[in-house]
Amino acid sequence: MKTENGTAVITSLTALPPPSGTGRATGKPVTVPPEMQYLYGSGEGSAISLQAYRGLWNFLRNEIGYRRDKSEISSVVMSRGSTLASPKFDLCGKRKLAVVLDVDETALLNLGFEYEAAANPAAYDQTKWSRWEATGVNKVVAVPGAADTLAAARGEGITVIFNSNRSSASAVETAAAIQGAGLGPAVLGDTLWLRDDGAPSGKDERRWKISETYCVVAMVGDQLGDFSDLFNTGEYSVGMRRNMTSESLLATLWGAGWFVLPNPVYGSALHGGLDDVFPKDKQWADVPEEKN
């Protein structure tokens, strides 16, 4: 049709297009993977994160009390020369208390990146992740419980430090994402430690460097590598690696210095064949009853 001034107007649309940047048209509805539904959408995922951060805060309050009572405390960073079977920890002396956290899926939920992954399933692409680090600053949210707990820790004089395998090339953007999500400031080389381009993904060297200045009384992560690189050497089977968390001297650290957040979406936990995950002596097969 035409308006009074002669301008042609298309009237065949049955609905208005979505606003720019709100999504893309698809031929069929996107099915969100169950692991993403759990971590990013469920109340259960939120509750377990809140539980972990509440446990962290209760633990930190105890550590503050020990220090004020002049008690000597140890770092929870495993010392050089440690093994998983024989971990060693250094006394802190007068170093300032600190808590060290991973960033992704520990302090921040990468909603924007995982939306893209759900909408357009594909193999992991490091170049896409690099673009995400640079442009996804305002597409993240804090993990439930993180903002309040970290603010409370700072209020008690505990330094909050982020140790991430994000690239040091995106330090400005990563600090902005952390700050924008309400998790406070992060300063590269002091309270923000990132992976140099081309460097291995292990975090122990960074942890030891942090420990030269701070007494690390708690660590928080979603992967075992957020606590020690020794979990990821490749020398342990799936079952052995699991047992090292529960049947070694490290078992006493969970919830008492080491705090784990759930991440069923990606990472070192997602390995194991049928016999690795389900012990042979616990495997069951259904045998239906024969009908007469």
**In this structure, what token pair is assigned to residue 231?**
């979990």
Residue 148: its pLDDT value, please?
A: 98
* Count of CA atoms in the C-beta half-sphere (13 A) of 143: 29
Is 216 a domain residue?
yes
Q: Report the CATH number that the domain containing residue 180 is assigned in CATH.
A: 3.40.50.1000
User: Quick check: is 15 in a domain?
Assistant: no
Return the CA Rg of the chain.
24
pLDDT band at 142 (very low <50, low <70, confident <90, very high): very high
In sign, the C-alpha dihedral spanning 116, 146, 103, 123 is negative
In a domain, 205, yes or no: yes
Domain-embedded: residue 281: no
pLDDT on residue 70: 77
Whether residue 20 lies inside any domain: the answer is no
Q: Average pLDDT, whole number, for the chain?
A: 91
Q: Is 230 inside any structural domain?
A: yes
Q: Is residue 236 part of a domain?
A: yes
* pLDDT above 60: residue 120: yes
Of 91, 79, 90, 141, the closest CA to residue 112 belongs to 141
Confidence (pLDDT) at 16: 41
| Domain hosting residue 93, numbered range | 34-262
Whole-angstrom Cα distance, residue 226 to residue 261? Answer: 11
Q: Is the pLDDT of residue 3 over 60?
A: no
Mean pLDDT, to the nearest integer, of 251-262? 97
pLDDT of residue 19: 46
Total number of domains constituting the chain = 1
According to the model, what pLDDT value does residue 26 have?
Answer: 53
Tally Cβ neighbours within 10 Å of residue 222. Answer: 27
On the question of pLDDT at 126 being above 70, the answer is: yes
- Whether residue 78 is predicted with pLDDT greater than 80 in this model: the reply is yes
Mean pLDDT calculated for residue range 127-152:
98
pLDDT at residue 2 is higher than 60:
no
Residue 8 has pLDDT above 70, yes or no: no
- Report, as an integer, the average pLDDT of 179-194: 98
Quote the crossing angle between the two packed helices 111-119 and 126-135, to the nearest 10°. Answer: 140
Tens digit of each residue's pLDDT (9 = 90 or more) over 16-75: 444 444 455 456 788 999 999 999 999 999 999 999 999 999 999 998 888 878 788 999
* Single-letter amino acid code for the residue at 83: T
Residue 240 lies in a domain: yes
- In terms of Cβ atoms closer than 10 Å to its own Cβ (0-12, 13-18, 19+), residue 157 is exposed
Amino acid occupying residue 88: K
Q: What angle do CA 98, 100, 104 make, to 5 degrees?
A: 150
Of residues 103 and 200, more confidence is placed in: 103
Check whether 83 has a pLDDT greater than 60.
yes
pLDDT tens across 154-167, in order?
A: 999 999 999 999 99
Give the single-character DSSP code of 227.
T
pLDDT on residue 18? 45
Q: Give the Cβ contact number of residue 50 at 10 Å.
A: 16
* pLDDT recorded at residue 20: 45
